[in-house]
Amino acid sequence: MSGVKLFDTFSENPTYARCEKKRLGLYLHIPFCRSKCAYCDFYSMVPQNDELIERYVNALITHMQSYRQGTKEYYVDTVFIGGGTPTCLPTEQLIRLIRAVRKNFTVVKDAEFTVEANPATVDTPMLNRLRRAGVNRLSMGLQSANNEELAALSRIHRRQDFAESFRAARRARIENINVDLMFGIPYQTRESLMKTLRYVVRLGPEHISLYDLILEPGTKLYAQRQNLPFPSEDEEADMYLAAVEFLAQNGYGQYEVSNFARPGYMCHHNLKYWNCEEYLGLGVAAHSFFRGNRFAFIRHMDRYMNGLELPNSAIRLTEQNDTVSPRERLGEYIMLRFRLREGLNCRDFARLFGFSFEELYGRKMYPYVKNGFATYKDGVFALTPRGMFVSNYILSDILEFEDLGQLDIFNGTK
Ligand code: SF4
């Protein structure tokens, strides 16, 4: 196994590098929301005034300018403005950010350009302006079409707000809409989830995401966990499998654990994360995988803004900066490939890492194949929907990193 060529980044590998200029995904983090949802542990806050918003937008523009030179050999083919709630910014500030993206990066003409929106924070004039500025995809956080469930999550919108926002987006001629949904919500039943899905499918978005609600310590929902009627794990499994089936019957193919799309509408930006491609995340608490390094900007508003306003200050903007070791890359690759329905192709794996996935992991994988949690066909292992529901368990079972120490390629790496 020794002497195997390990590429510094996936994009250096001929399998992935098919173009002269390198491709880059750009993410901008907007850390503001109208109010905090009960389950949320994202880095977001309720801004006390417009001055804070303006100051943050200025800092983010300075941040983009600082990467202008260093990204000259890239073209940006996906932009994602997320948060937080980008649409709780005044429209003018959002437009300033979009203009700064175009000014500081080479954005291709047909780039996928997504803005995340809370249904209570958009209207037709705003969406018209965003579309004219180049936004062609809207990601709307509905979570549930059941108002009792929405109240349990402390969402600020109700089903009617969503219906109006969705119609406003179509009026603004936004032709690619994602709707975020959740399962595992207090009070939710399989039937109420199916009602939500039927309602959403009738509206006809191009893309649907369905996430399992995770109870994060420190959130309001976590503190209330004993007093609220959460579905059991078996009920959740039932909901997930029923949803996957229903969405497939209605033209939304599953391409990732939590993501479903009509043909041609997979989210190209998120696919970069799962395909280990390069992306640059700017803004407070934003993460990147750029030039073979993973790094994150600090989770502290004042320090972030001060660091950009005072470029000669000693404030360190990154809080984590790691070169990805071959061992980490391998573990990450396996985890990410198994999130995707297309799964892990053993030939690609051998090309990238220089040894056989079947030889190393086959013994672990075959019982899952035999019991319907995974499939194996033409050299490709993939998880079935049943396997995806318990993917964390399966991955921790197969990824016994200690075994990898025996391989020469990991000698001398951490
Ligand atoms: S809108 Fe999103 S980011 Fe904001 S508090 Fe709710 S879940 Fe968190």
pLDDT digits (tens, 9 = 90+) for 129-171: 999 999 999 999 999 999 999 999 999 999 999 999 999 999 9
Q: Which atom of ligand 1 is nearest to the CA of 39?
A: 7
Q: Which of 30, 39, 40, 161 to mutate to test the pocket of ligand 1 (most atoms within 8 A of CB)?
A: 40
- Per-position DSSP letters for 302-367, written without gaps between them: HHHHHHHHSTTS----EEEEEEPPHHHHHHHHHHHHHHBTT-EEHHHHHHHHSS-HHHHHHHHHHH
For position 20, what pLDDT does the model report? 63
Single-letter residue type at 113: F
Residues 308-332 pLDDT 10s:
999 788 889 998 777 778 888 888 9
Residue 117 tokens, joined: 């929106």
- Model confidence at 409, pLDDT cuts 50, 70, 90, reads very low
Q: Mean pLDDT lowest for which of 51-55, 293-297, 325-329, 345-349? A: 325-329
Q: Which atom of ligand 1 is nearest to the CA of 154?
A: 6
For the residues 233-257, what does the mean pLDDT come to?
98
Per the CB < 8 A criterion, the answer to whether 87 and 94 are in contact is: yes
For the residues 393-398, what does the mean pLDDT come to?
92
For position 18, what pLDDT does the model report? 44
CA distance 85 to 321: 26
Residue 160 tokens, joined: 């009617």
Instruction: Set out the domains of the chain in order of their start, with CATH numbers.
Output: 10-274 (3.20.20.70), 326-410 (1.10.10.920)
Q: What distance in angstroms lies between residue 84's CA and the mean position of ligand 1's atoms?
A: 5
Shortest-distance Cα residue to atom 5 of ligand 1: 36
For position 343, what pLDDT does the model report? 97
From residue 170, how far is each of 161, 164, 204 by CA, in Å? Answer: 14, 10, 11
Helices (H) and strands (E) in the chain, counts: 16, 15
For the residues 401-411, what does the mean pLDDT come to?
48
Shortest-distance Cα residue to atom 3 of ligand 1: 84
Q: What distance in angstroms lies between residue 36's CA and the mean position of ligand 1's atoms?
A: 6
Q: Which of 29, 35, 85, 165 to mutate to test the pocket of ligand 1 (most atoms within 8 A of CB)?
A: 85
Shortest-distance Cα residue to atom 8 of ligand 1: 40
Per the CB < 8 A criterion, the answer to whether 383 and 342 are in contact is: no
Per the CB < 8 A criterion, the answer to whether 33 and 53 are in contact is: no
Does the pLDDT of residue 401 top 80, yes or no?
no
Per the CB < 8 A criterion, the answer to whether 107 and 101 are in contact is: yes
For the residues 1-13, what does the mean pLDDT come to?
36
- Model confidence at 266, pLDDT cuts 50, 70, 90, reads very high
What percent of the chain is predicted at pLDDT more than 90?
Answer: 84
For the residues 194-209, what does the mean pLDDT come to?
98
Q: What is the mean pLDDT of the chain?
A: 91
Shortest-distance Cα residue to atom 6 of ligand 1: 37
Tokens 């229903």 map to which residue?
246
Give the residues surrounding ligand 1 with Cβ less than 6 Å away.
33, 36-37, 40, 42, 44, 83-85, 118, 141
Does the pLDDT of residue 278 top 50, yes or no?
yes
pTM for this predicted structure: 0.91
Residue 37 tokens, joined: 């949802």
Residues 212-243 pLDDT 10s:
999 999 999 999 999 999 999 999 999 999 99
Q: Which of 32, 36, 220 to mutate to test the pocket of ligand 1 (most atoms within 8 A of CB)?
A: 36
Per the CB < 8 A criterion, the answer to whether 2 and 405 are in contact is: no
Q: Which of 29, 39, 41, 44 to mutate to test the pocket of ligand 1 (most atoms within 8 A of CB)?
A: 44
Q: Which atom of ligand 1 is nearest to the CA of 40?
A: 8
Shortest-distance Cα residue to atom 2 of ligand 1: 84
